């Protein structure tokens, strides 16, 4: 199985279509600023919690590296239609898009 890379400007259409946003950064990074609506599931905790990631989810990290690792890992386990946000929250923010702070999506 494989996953699809998304540019930040493609994320809104997938979000409107109901895609889950999964931020795989550590909790302190997530609290400091994340894409609105993203749920935190750190890459370090992903083994054993794979069932929490639905098919069609968009995986997000700071730069796109950890989220691509997560997408590859989950795809190899058979998770369908996963997407990786290229450039992560850094690219999202560089485009002038908002971030949310705190523990809540």
18 dihedral zone (left: phi>0; alpha: psi -120 to 50; beta):
left
Q: One of 61, 70, 71, 85 is an active-site residue; which one?
A: 61
Quick one: DSSP state of residue 50? G
Matching residue, tokens 């935190």: 40
Matching residue, tokens 């290229």: 86
Give the number of other Cβ atoms within 10 Å of residue 66's Cβ. Answer: 23
- 14 included as an active-site residue: no
The tokens for 10 are 């493609």
- Among all residues, which ones are annotated catalytic? 61
């Amino acid at each position: 199985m494989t996953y699809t890379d998304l540019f930040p400007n493609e994320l809104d259409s997938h979000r409107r279509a109901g895609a889950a946003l999964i931020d795989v950064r550590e909790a302190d990074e997530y609290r400091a600023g994340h894409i609105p609506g993203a749920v935190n599931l750190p890459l370090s905790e992903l083994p054993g919690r794979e069932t929490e990631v639905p098919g069609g989810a968009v995986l997000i990290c700071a730069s796109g590296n950890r989220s691509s690792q997560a997408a590859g890992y989950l795809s190899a386990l058979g998770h369908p239609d996963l997407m990786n946000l290229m450039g992560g929250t850094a690219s999202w923010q560089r485009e002038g898009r908002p971030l949310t702070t705190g523990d809540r999506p």
